[in-house]
Copies of this chain bind each other. A is one copy, B any other.
């Protein structure tokens, strides 16, 4: 069940990677690379920082296969999602919540302090997207618009706090993922932006 959710998250993220590759006029190689980097990048960076080798996403074939399938789907039907821009963003919110919760729980398991757990939860959730944008020659979108990393951070913080307060782990994980998804969806709905420094 958890693995299925995690794979679904990777698949959604991989779709966004392949779509960015199409926009950047890349070929099939670029599409597969960006799909894979977006789908597993955040989790791989988390596992490297925690010292787990090989990273979970490389220990079986299923994550790589899943990301490549997403890339091939977009290659075969590059316009499939053009009229569905909005659905993709909503699905992406689910991936964000699942990844932020999974990353935070894993960091807590490894015995890291709360700040590091939140840091690694956010990296798991947004790391793949940052690598995707860098490979496409763009400034990572998460750095300058929208409530995106903030939603991931709120979910991660909720997990750390409720777990310290004694909530069982599965409960904390569901709560954190739900919070991230809810904040992200509302932010899309209402067009919320993260604050910027005041410059006159």
CB within 8 Å of B: which residues of A?
Answer: 21-22, 24-31, 33-34, 36, 44, 48-51, 53-55, 58-61, 64-65, 74-76, 78-79, 110, 112-116, 119-120, 130, 134-140, 142-145, 148-150, 193-199
Residues of B within 8 A of A74 (CB): 197
Q: CB within 8 A of A51: which of B44, B53, B60, B78?
A: B53
Residues of B within 8 A of A25 (CB): 144, 196
Docked Cα-Cα span, A114 to B144, in Å, equals: 39
User: Known interface pairs A144-B26, A150-B29, A199-B79. Does A116 touch B194 (Cβ–Cβ under 8 Å)?
Assistant: no
Q: CB within 8 A of A196: which of B27, B49, B59?
A: B27
Q: From A152, which residue of chain B is reached at the shortest CB distance?
A: B29
Shortest distance from the beta carbon of A185 to any chain B beta carbon, whole Å = 18
Q: CB within 8 A of A194: which of B27, B54, B120, B140?
A: B27
Residues of B within 8 A of A50 (CB): 53-54
Q: CB within 8 A of A24: which of B58, B144, B199?
A: B144
- Known contacts A22-B199, A27-B196, A78-B197; 4 additional CB pairs below 8 A are A24-B139, A29-B194, A54-B112, A58-B112
